[in-house]
Structure 1
Amino acid sequence: MSVNENLAFDALSDRVRRQILSILGEGGELTVTEIAESVDMVGRSTVSSHLRILRTSGVVNERRDGRRRYYSLDTEGSVRDAFLFLQTILRGGVHFDVEATKSADVAGEIQQDVS
């Protein structure tokens, strides 16, 4: 794994940070206050600390406008590298899961026909 992938996985290992990413994914560019209002587990200062980790790991972008800071997902940063890494690993597994689902569906149809 590359350094970028490791940074992304470290950043994504925390439940609060994953919630922040989800909020940014739905809301787009938001301030710390807007994000903190949506995070139900911690306060504003803790959200700021988590945003710093996400920013330094390359998962989140920060834009300053006067005294305000706006945060958004960095779709070209380390999280993209981690996603590509997972995608490569899961390609074979997803194919297997699709085949297993088809087999389970066929087995269910056969059992319904017998009943």
Structure 2
Amino acid sequence: MASNNKVAMVSVVFALLLVANCAEAYMCTRGNKYYHGPCVNNLNCASSCVHKKLGTGGHCARPKQLSAANADADIDWIVVRRKRICECYSPCPPSGGGEEPPSGGEQPAPPSVMLRTMEASN
């Protein structure tokens, strides 16, 4: 009986680890334009972000900019030596992963219509 409890406990722990790993979301950041002056207190920054509905929290950070020396790299940030600013963070919106909508306000054809036209052309 004791071994069944151990197996059940280990199974629960593995299931929780799996769920925690799969539920990870990317966080997006943006500057808080309502926070004036140098940012010295993370708690004040976070409460300003939540109060102004700019995110779910915030922190004090040094401003970043793209490095001009390595412009061909995917992303190469350098930290600028300036006063710290208040950055708000929130979960990033889900990426659509689909095609860009056509320009001019046209709606794309439903998938079933596209499938039928592809079958008719073959």
Considering the TM-score relative to the shorter chain, is it more than 0.5?
Answer: no
TM normalised by structure 1 equals 0.26
Q: Which one has the bigger helix percentage? A: 1
Query: TM-score normalized by structure 2?
Result: 0.25
The structure showing larger relative contact order (alpha-carbon pairs under 8 Å, at least 6 residues apart) is: 1
